[in-house]
Amino acid sequence: MAEISIDGQNLVVEIEGLDKLWALKSRLVIPLANVRGATADPGIVGEPKGLRAPGAHLPGVITAGTFHLNGEKVFWDVHDAAKAVVIELADERYARLVVQVADPRAAVALIERATAVS
């Protein structure tokens, strides 16, 4: 699971618990100027992930790490599809972040408010 916060002009995604091991990341910091938007999207878990490198993918259990699909890098950290949030990025290492959060609606609202004023 991930914890999303805003720190100044940055979106901060903290990877929690053992997911740090599976995702091979503990924290992502993205300038708000490079965040295009966010949506709660439980259906994304059923879509193709692409080539995993590095990371873990056990269907129905966890998808975590960096995946390459159609020339883009996508960061994943999801156990429960119902709590998946997709964060669209521009001019970043990743095209998208797909992370599980405790409250998807609150996370999307936080990101949308922050990007509206940045």
Distance between CA 56 and CA 23 in Å, rounded?
7
Mean pLDDT (the chain, rounded): 94
Containing domain of residue 49, as a range?
A: 2-117
Report percent pLDDT > 70 for the chain: 99
Reported confidence tier of residue 60, pLDDT bands at 50, 70, 90: confident
- Where in the chain does DSSP place strands (E)? 2-7, 10-15, 27-31, 35-40, 51-58, 62-69, 72-78, 84-89, 96-100
CA within 13 Å, CB half, 107: 25
CA 59 to chain centre: 18
30-39, 45-54, 80-89, 90-99: which range is least confident on average?
45-54
- Contacts with 62 (C-beta within 8 Å, 6 or more apart), sequence order: 19, 22, 56, 78, 79
One-letter amino acid identity for 19?
D
The alpha carbon dihedral of 4, 118, 98, 53 has a sign of negative
Q: What is the CATH number of the domain that holds 77?
A: 2.30.29
Q: How many domains does the chain have?
A: 1
What length is written for the chain? 118
DSSP secondary structure letters along 4-19: EEEETTEEEEEE-TTH
One-letter amino acid identity for 66?
T
